[in-house]
Amino acid sequence: QVTLKESGPALVKPTQTLTLTCTFSGFSLRSSGMRVGWIRQPPGKALEWLARIDWDDDKFHSTSLKTRLTISKDTSKNQVVLIMTNMDPADTATYYCARMVPGGAWCFDYWGQGTLVTVSS
Amino acid sequence: QSALTQPPSASGSPGQSVTISCTGTSSDVGSYNYVSWYQHHPGKAPKLMLYEVTKRPSGVPDRFSGSKSGNTASLTVSGLQAEDEADYYCSSYAGSNNLVFGGGTKLTVL
């Protein structure tokens, strides 16, 4: 059974750095073809893809947020970490981590429940 | 990149069919068959309903089907059921290792 769960602070101040952790089970990021991504959804707005990391440590980031994002993995802990710098109130959103369909399709077959991050002073 | 365009709402009565559109550009929907659809009940994890335009993951009823023409993809839900009421989002690969989502459509079962 594949599960993912996001964890991190619910509240961050403007200019601070956000660190979110995705802890997953039911698959391994050591396995060929496995990929995990992050997606966010500001209140009342569209989903936005943020970043992805692959089993071979390839990393891809949203063009618009590339300079602010770092994604990494700890395969021994079954975790993927997303770091976003210089947080702004516009970054207030529910942040999801999700597993991508193994094998190349650009879509997510299992999602976490999401974690709401509010950026406010 | 801009979000894909979806109608904000759609509705139908039980048993009817409803189609939700997802309009992109020649740089995303029009160029790749990597269009996916997600069902999202608020407070729950989104669920993948269709991928690569027409493929259904295991467990998704065949009442859900997809198609694409030019820069517009569509999700059709046939034989509407009460549990189909949810938000639906499309997504498309947009080249250069980027993914774009639609703004979402709230489906109401009357």
Over chain A (121 residues), the average pLDDT of each successive run of 10 is 96 98 96 95 91 95 93 96 97 97 88 96 95
| A51 three-state secondary structure | strand
pLDDT: which is higher, B2 or B76: B76
B15 Cα to chain A: minimum distance (Å): 27
CB burial readout B4-24, b (16+ within 10 A) else e: bbbeeebebeeeeebebbbbb
pLDDT digits (tens, 9 = 90+) for B56-103: 999 999 999 999 999 999 999 999 999 999 999 999 999 988 999 999
Residue of B nearest to A59 (CA): B97
pLDDT for the residue numbered B2: 59
**How confident is the prediction for chain B on average, in pLDDT?**
94
Best mutation target among B97, B99, B100, B101 (most A Cβ atoms within 10 Å) is B99
Q: Say if CB A54 and CB A100 are below 8 A apart.
A: no
Best mutation target among A4, A50, A106 (most B Cβ atoms within 10 Å) is A106
Instruction: Compute the average pLDDT of residues B105-109.
Output: 96
A105 Cα to chain B: minimum distance (Å): 7
Q: Which two tokens stand for residue A53?
A: 């990391």
Q: Which residues of A touch B5 (CB under 8 A)?
A: none
Q: Say if CB B11 and CB B79 are below 8 A apart.
A: no
pLDDT for the residue numbered A105: 84
For B71, phi then psi, to 5°, come to -95, 10
Q: Which residues of A touch B60 (CB under 8 A)?
A: none
Residue of B nearest to A107 (CA): B36
CA distance A66 to A49: 11
Cβ contacts from A onto B, under 8 A: 70
pLDDT for the residue numbered B22: 97
Q: Which two tokens stand for residue B53?
A: 């335009």
Give the HSE-up count for residue B11: Cα atoms under 13 Å, Cβ half-sphere: 5
pLDDT for the residue numbered A74: 96
